[in-house]
Chains A and B, each alone.
Chain A
């Protein structure tokens, strides 16, 4: 858990429009954005895709496994 006060500022370069465009490359299901971890969540695949420097990294190999 990260202290909310210590969070980096919202990445201005990640455009929320991208959410409508992107799907999980494994399941092809829509994603949701977790503003706390700043990851794109694929519930069905149990994967969280990172956004680095405003660029979503949509590779299963780079994603974090989630419950």
Chain B
């Protein structure tokens, strides 16, 4: 995990050493793990479920496919994928052990049985051989990765030729006026909700800052192309509060 001395990155709006970020992110998600699903519902008024369904609609899981869901925490994406594709299998990878433990304890996990595996791992150094998967998903996770380019390169590596990448992440609203209003909401309301529901204002402060810092739609699409993916497209969700990015390993 060593990085060059003096190299820095962003942790929300703070500048921190590149080698510190993973630990800080782990801290945030270890603290919020047990309340994560509840908070997602509150923060997005339940809309994150519709976004995840929209992701599945575009992804169109097929029987027998092998999915790697990175930063998959509590299993939301893997459960949906397996429910739509009989005979498919999924590996959920997350940096944070408590998030995985939370997911595995859910009833859906038991129902999926042998089709589902859980691994603690780093998006920038995945513990899988080249060309291992048909589909790579990362949902509300990539903005927490220290070096997004490195995560995209790993996604490309573990996908087989013809495999597909799909990223769900907060993005920029198409209307600046709405973005202004949304920023007011997220900076003023979400940390307070975090305090009330999860007893942890700081972690949710980080979440909103990291959302605002993440590259907008076109810039992120360019990063995906840079990583070697073809046919890169995106779709806005809820007028750009979030976006889905899709790319193919050709």
Contacts and interface: CB of A to CB of B under 8 A. Distances in A.
Interface of B: 1, 91, 95, 97, 100-101, 104, 114, 117-122, 125-130, 132
B101 A58 contact: no
Interface residues of A, number: 21
A56 B118 CA distance: 8
Interface string A18-35: 100111111010000000
B117 A58 contact: no
A6 to B, nearest CB: 25
Which residue, of A18, A52, A55, A56, has the highest number of chain B Cβ atoms within 10 A? A55
Nearest to A18: B117
Dominant secondary structure of chain B at its interface with chain A: mixed
A11 interface: no
5 contacts: A21-B117, A25-B125, A26-B125, A56-B120, A59-B121
Contacts of A28: 129-130
A15 interface: yes
A21 B132 contact: yes
A42 to B, nearest CB: 10
Contacts of B126: 25
A65 interface: no
A55 B97 contact: yes
Interface in A21-67: 21-26, 28, 52-62
Nearest to B116: A15
B6 to A, nearest CB: 20
B3 to A, nearest CB: 12
B118 A55 contact: yes
